[in-house]
Amino acid sequence: MPGPRLQVTPAEVGREIQLPDALSAARAVRALIARKRLEPAQGSYRLLDSRPVDPGERETVERPRRRRAAKRAPAAPRRPSDGRPTYSEVGRELVERVIELGREVGTLRASLKAAREEARASREARIDAEHRAETLAGRARDLEGRAEMAESNLRALLAAAKGAGRELRDQPIPDTEMEAILGVLKAGDEVSGP
């Protein structure tokens, strides 16, 4: 027949009997519960058997060791009778899709990197072409200026050679005379060339 409920806590009982710490009192209570001398009752304990610990009886009771769960062979996927996929099938499909998307992202990143390199190379080529065009345009302007200066010098030289007055300087030189002068100049360039 169950006895009265304890009015004090096991920690207070442990202090009264001078146990070293509250953990020792908790172990003693657990040992009494395992021996069916105490039972938990509404936040306290009820005394079931008031006999003291017998001589030679251990004060504590060791906890039974937990057995590890035996490893089971993987079960075959179960398909519900209504044809809906199971969680494992959905999970497997999700993982495969994530892996596939990861591959696509890798491919897109590589394509983006290649496109950036091509754009950089194109930009550098455009800058080089613009620089060459500016250089050639400047050279063409310089050569046009030299040609105009040479033409005015030739006009002055022809006017002086003919002994004519100033009125010939502003008249255009006939094509035959100009071709003859250019032929002489070209021949002079070929002789003085490399």
Identify the domain containing residue 23 by its residue range. Answer: 10-47
Q: Decide if pLDDT at 39 tops 70.
A: yes
| 94 and 40 belong to one structural domain | no
**Into how many domains does the chain fold?**
2
Average pLDDT (161-178) is 62
% helix / strand / coil in the chain, to the nearest 5? 60, 5, 35
Least confident of 38-42, 88-92, 183-187: 183-187
Q: Is 42 a member of any domain?
A: yes
Average pLDDT (141-154) is 86
The separation between the first and the last C-alpha atoms of the chain, rounded to the nearest angstrom, is 131
Q: Is 53 a member of any domain?
A: no
| 95 and 23 belong to one structural domain | no
Q: Is-contact 126 145, C-beta < 8 A?
A: no
| 43 and 92 belong to one structural domain | no
| 100 and 168 belong to one structural domain | yes
- What's the predicted TM-score (pTM) here? 0.34
| 38 and 102 belong to one structural domain | no
Q: Is 28 a member of any domain?
A: yes
| 92 and 150 belong to one structural domain | yes
Q: Decide if pLDDT at 122 tops 60.
A: yes
| 20 and 104 belong to one structural domain | no
Q: How far apart are CA 39 and CA 29, in angstroms?
A: 9
